[in-house]
Amino acid sequence: MAKHKNYEDSHFEEYLETQKIVNIDIEKRMKEAFIDYAMSVIVSRALPDVRDGLKPVHRRILYSMYEEHLTHDKPFFKSATTVGNVIGRYHPHGDASVYDAMVRLAQDFSMRYMLIDGHGNFGSIDGDSAAAYRYTEARMSRIANLMLENIDKNTVDFAPNFDEKRQEPVVLPTRIPTLLINGSSGIAVGMATNIPPHNLTEVLDGVIAQIDNPDITVEELMEYIKGPDFPTRASIMGRRGVRQAYETGKGKVIVRARTEIEEHKDGTSAIIVTELPYQVNKKMLVESIAQLAKEKRIEGISDIDDHSSDRVGIRVEISVKRDANPQVVLNQLFKFTRLQDSFSINMLAIQDGKPKTMGLREILADFIAFQEEIVTRRTRFDLEKAEARMHILEGLKIAIANIDEVIEVIRNSYDDAKEKLMARFGFSEIQAQSVLDMRLAQLQKLNSDKIDAEYNDLKEKAEEYRLLLSDHGKLMEQIKEELSEIRAKYGDERLTSIEHSIDDIDIEDLIDEEENVFTLTHYGYIKRLPVSTYRSQHRGGRGISALSTREEDFVETLFTASTHDNILFFTTRGRMYHLKGYRIPEAGRHAKGTAIINLLPLEGDEKITAMLKVRDYDDEAYLIMATKMGTVKKTAVSDYNMTRKGGLIAIGLNEGDELIEAKIVSPGDNIILSTYKGMAIRFKESDVRAMGRTAHGVRGIRLRGEDYVIGMAVAKENSELLVATEYGFGKKTVLDEYKIQTRGGVGIRTYKITDDTGFIAGIKTVQENDDLMLITSEGVIIRMETGAISSIGRSTKGVRLVKLGDGIKVVSVALTEHEEEEDAEDAAENAENAENTESAEGEKTEE
């Protein structure tokens, strides 16, 4: 078998040799091929050359138009012909890619300095496509002439085109720093470039400054080059990102639309947008604003209209609702739309045939070096041309001095006139040929004075050329002078302003921070209103109406928080939703508020069961959650620092269980759970180990019969436990009466339940500066100082806190900071109510 196999292998190898089939390593060959492809894309398609700032396709378009003499002072020329010339002569790729590149060079919203003057539809800032190339016409712009100036003076190298039938320039001899003034963007293989446009005047000032001081710093350069200058104007917010990009080649700048707020006679206002960030599609922007307003992600917008035109420019009018703050709406627009956009700078270009990320100084240094090369090669060309002409003029001067003899030699010669002239008068071959190229009549009319004048002029220029080539200082002065002339002729004012630095837009900066009462009704209507709306009353007062509800609705949850707080909404299904306090609409005292389902994507019978305020998502802070069936769970607050449209899982729940409360705890805190039927347990928070966000938790209290957990409180230092019942009774008890037990027990009695008191409505830990707020099923809130509530034993009946009519119950309990505010009318009213207060203190009974 082995011999047979060896025979077959050798036979196969002989077959491969006869068929000229090469055996290669496919993996190695694929790597080599991909590297070749990548380098072709990087060098020959996607990235600009640092010297002229152009990609090959743009360079070929301009050179092809130059060949056809399509300069700014010539008639427009069909784009289809230009595209065909580019493809047929220099760029063997698709016509669409060539035309798209050509169109961009003619768009005033894409190019800071347009290199092509277009005639016809070349697209719009709304994203409209240009007309087909058979309809449009184009020619080079005036400033584009500077891109090809003196290209016929051997200022740059030429190379064969793709079929080696023509020569094309490897780079254009530009006199303007195109890479910076027009920028560039492109995606290559494994890399990308994104260079913003700049102002020509500023960049040329920077170039001249760097010529004068090659060691100039970026900070000093930024005195001349302030930052990017976009064709769409707008404003750059801060210089930190600009400085970073100029120093390292990479950075990010924030660009903001230019807007103004118009006040109308009818009391309404509108936000007027007149300038947009670079590369922002206006039509898509308007649509996105309208959609955000429709979804109520941005509040306060009543209408949006686009009145932009060629005559007035960009004008987008955003109408603001009468009761909305236009500045707040504007900042919401900056935060959630591309009215404020970021431009990531990556100054990557081809340098010496290789891609390189460069800072500002290096780009300017390369441009200066390129200008030295251009002017040197141009000067050398001019010198050689002057010397060649002077050599001919020297021969003509000899011919004039011997005109009759020269003419006789020419007339008497048949085909050896050149040799005879060279032998007789000492002409060089070139001089002799120049004499022979002239007709005899021209020779006879030669004027020695004119020849002498031309000769002397050329001699003087030749001396200047030699001086430039021999003196580097003179050469640089010549470059500076020429750049100054370009600046004077083509320079313009900056379009993009640079404003003071900003951080990420924070709407809170324009919203007053104040304590608000947040209420949620049984049928899911939520609102907020200032705490000061509720005047502090004495124990036993009738209270102030918190809202007007429909007959079958009542306020179920009350919560106090700042407008700047993060409000975490915990639901009966164990999910958590997040809103900023100010995102909840403010409403009047008697208004029912906004349906919670308009703010949160609640599902089915899912209800909000707890609201929690969080200012910062601290890694060291923890949440304690309690369920109706007595389970507790501790989780780091930082685990909830994320938002999802459908909410987050806050706790895993067993079938039939509900989440009833959530609190923030600190190390050393004690947790108190209270049941509906008056049992309570106190245990250390450390008894509950920290768990993941989706965990189910552990047993907190063992329940008896049909009992369930009604509330959870965190025992704080110098605080007491306040317990309120359904029928308006309540009391305070020092925490020492609640001994610390092991988690999971049945607990001890916390209240003497009677028919007068009803079962437990809620519990809170209170301190001296707290005010208690009770809310009833009828929507009435009473606010009182907790200091006015008796502090009595644990298992007692308590005192009456609020008078309730038949069928009315206390449904929620909340705390707020005490305010010293009471006018005479309130004092009289509360004194009268206090006289009628019924107080009943029960006998203390031990369990």
Taking each helix axis from N to C end, the angle separating 472-490 and 360-401, rounded to the nearest 10 degrees, works out to 110
Q: Longest C-alpha distance within the chain, in Å?
A: 153
Told to judge if 278 belongs to the known catalytic residues of this protein, a careful annotator would answer: no
Six-digit token string for 306: 């686009």
The three-state (H, E, C) secondary structure of 93-130, written as one string: CCHHHHHHHHHHCCCCCCCCCCCEEEECCCCCCCCCCC
CA distance from start to end of the chain: 97
| Residues 122/125/128/133 CA torsion (nearest 10 deg) | 10
CA triple 623-624-626, angle to 5 deg: 140
Q: Tokens 């890479």 identify what position? A: 179
Sheet order of strands, 340-346 included:
184-187, 192-195, 340-346, 250-256, 235-237, 497-499
Strands 698-699 and 659-665: unpaired
Which residues lie below 8 Å from residue 167, measured CB to CB, with a gap of 6+?
158, 159, 160, 161
The answer to whether 585 and 516 have CB atoms below 8 angstroms apart is no
Torsion-angle region of 26 (φ positive above 0: left; ψ -120 to 50: alpha; else: beta) = alpha
The answer to whether 398 and 425 have CB atoms below 8 angstroms apart is yes
Give the separation between CA 724 and CA 773, rounded to whole angstroms: 11
Q: What are phi and psi of 304, to 5 degrees?
A: -145, 130
Nearest to 815 by CA among 711, 742, 743, 689: 711
Stated as kind and residue range, the H or E segment containing 273 is strand 269-275
Neighbour count for residue 226 (Cβ, 10 Å): 18
SS3 content of the chain, % helix, strand, coil (to 5): 35, 25, 40
Six-digit token string for 607: 């209800």
Give the separation between CA 725 and CA 786, rounded to whole angstroms: 15
The answer to whether 537 and 801 have CB atoms below 8 angstroms apart is no
Six-digit token string for 722: 């306040």
37, 113, 135, 525: the active-site residue: 135
Nearest to 221 by CA among 200, 202, 195: 202
Nearest to 750 by CA among 652, 679, 828, 664: 679
**What DSSP string runs through 353-416?**
TEEEE--HHHHHHHHHHHHHHHHHHHHHHHHHHHHHHHHHHHHHHHHHHTHHHHHHHHHT-SS-
Q: Measured in whole angstroms, how far is the alpha carbon of residue 180 from the centre of its chain?
A: 22
- Based on DSSP, count helices (H) and strands (E) in the chain, helices before strands: 20, 41
CA triple 18-23-24, angle to 5 deg: 155
Q: What letter represents residue 350's amino acid?
A: I
The answer to whether 238 and 222 have CB atoms below 8 angstroms apart is no
Nearest to 536 by CA among 786, 767, 732: 786
Which residues lie below 8 Å from residue 339, measured CB to CB, with a gap of 6+?
256, 257, 259, 273, 276, 277, 285, 289, 333
Nearest to 842 by CA among 800, 780, 788: 800
The answer to whether 838 and 800 have CB atoms below 8 angstroms apart is yes
Give the separation between CA 50 and CA 348, rounded to whole angstroms: 9
Positions marked active-site? 135
